[in-house]
A and B are shown apart, each in its own frame.
Chain A
């Protein structure tokens, strides 16, 4: 696992309140890799989000690289949280990564619930399904 992932886990362990977690989320999106303008297309716009969210997956051999962006800060922070542990993993590892356990550990699990309007669950599913197909 990469060092940013461990940083996230360690940082969240020290958070005592939801306010701390949300202050982090509000700023964390800045650390997301730049979203290339060529990927900012209608096709990459994630359906069912209350804010605008884009996802693009670059595939080469059995590697996938995910780019995501959002115009709302908290969702963007959540995208950073979501993508960080997947960086550097191969397709099979991404497909089997326990995202629920990870979000549970950060006390952010409700953001992966189907009732949320932020589309995080559908993004997580798209990435893992793509990785699954690639590793078959």
Chain B
């Protein structure tokens, strides 16, 4: 045996026993992997898999206590309302919000951002000529929403420049001034996986009395999120990207701001008093939740968050960090691979391969049983900056992925030459 073979890292040399145990217990909770033994799922930035506890909680709700919430005094409605509001408290705890009244259910990050944009517009918060600052790496949800609002209200959309590592902080800070009324930035890039310097951006925005919104879609499953420490005005994320159900999102907002805002959707549940001439809106959070909410998925998210809280979160985070590093280094070792981002990122990595169209790589990887993403990842302005207009291959992992899966992907990429 040669030295290099002896020194070849293995799962047991990379991870501690605690980390491996935490990973194994975590993976075991996801039936998807038992049911798809042939598949290597590395598309977690698009959506994560679901723990059995979430699936059971949703089935249990429909089978045993399905009733509309907040509407009736009967016993089943009482049970469903309590479970539904308990989940709101679970989310509050998960992101350390001061009050569960500041947790608003939406159908996803996209709706959370649109809710803020439209409610600010309805509340006449902006004046012609005001500025909204976003960055060039935003997902279209946090880009087009503001771009269109700016067009409608004659505001100026200011775009902070980015490089292959993420937002250019100094350039971004220099763009914040007294005309800036809102700064909307993502916590983690969905393409690069890079963690954005949001603390510094939020601090500067506050000095100029601008509102701050953080798109947390790609952070919520991978970083501890503490909205009080961040001190942002809004934080948005989707349940399905943190092992929860699809069709459900969260908007956290500071209560003093939410209280001052006019809702943009109207209907049942959100009014306290209605006459033929006018209506009084309910208290927070209900004034932003018109209509029957997504009760089952709210309860499902509650079960998911309880499941996550019961894990060894420290060991899982370390495991995921090491797995990401192994993926980064493995990809970097392949001739012709051009990586975007850096090894300090979280979950997602984007790359292209010299002389290869990303579509061809994706097609072959799919044949080999890998689920990865190809394309522009709803971030076309960033693709222009990176000079990858044809898109990139994006691999995104979670703590349930294994080192063997990462090695298999590296081997698969190395075997691409066999097809030329």
Contact = CB atoms under 8 A, between A and B. Distances in A.
Nearest to B376: A50
Interface string A14-39: 00001100110010000000000000
A68 interface: no
Interface stretch (B193-201, B213-221, B307-315, B355-363): B355-363
A75 B358 CA distance: 12
B69 interface: no
B419 A50 contact: no
A136 B98 CA distance: 70
Contact of A50 (B359, B367, B418, B420): B359
Contact of A51 (B364, B367, B390, B420): B390
A74 B374 contact: no
B357 A73 contact: yes
A124 B184 CA distance: 43
Contacts of A50: 359, 362, 374-375, 391
A109 interface: no
Contacts of A62: none
B357 A72 contact: yes
Scoring B359, B362, B364, B390 by chain A CB atoms within 10 A of each residue's CB, the highest score goes to B359
Given A26-B419, A51-B390, A73 B367 contact: no
Given A18-B367, A22-B367, A51 B419 contact: no
Nearest to A53: B359
At the interface, is chain B mostly helix, strand, loop or mixed?
helix
A73 B375 CA distance: 16
Contacts of A52: 390
A71 B390 contact: yes
A72 B360 contact: yes
Contacts of B359: 50-51, 72, 74-75, 118
Contacts of A26: 360, 419-420
B39 to A, nearest CB: 15
Interface string B383-403: 000000011000000000000
Interface in A71-99: 71-75
A26 B364 CA distance: 10
A50 B393 CA distance: 12
Contacts of B364: 22, 74
B357 A71 contact: yes
Interface in A25-73: 26, 50-52, 71-73
A135 to B, nearest CB: 34
A37 B40 CA distance: 41
Scoring A22, A50, A71, A73 by chain B CB atoms within 10 A of each residue's CB, the highest score goes to A50
B207 to A, nearest CB: 43
A72 B374 CA distance: 13
Interface in B360-383: 360, 362-364, 367, 374-375
Given A50-B375, A51-B390, A74-B363, A23 B419 contact: yes
12 contacts: A19-B419, A22-B363, A22-B367, A23-B418, A26-B419, A50-B374, A51-B357, A51-B359, A71-B357, A71-B390, A72-B359, A74-B363
Interface of A: 18-19, 22-23, 26, 50-52, 71-75, 117-118
Interface of B: 357, 359-360, 362-364, 367, 374-375, 390-391, 418-420
6 nearest interchain CB pairs? Answer: A72-B359, A72-B357, A51-B359, A74-B363, A73-B360, A74-B360
Given A19-B418, A22-B367, A74-B360, 9 more contacts: A26-B360, A50-B359, A50-B374, A51-B357, A51-B359, A52-B390, A72-B360, A74-B364, A117-B375
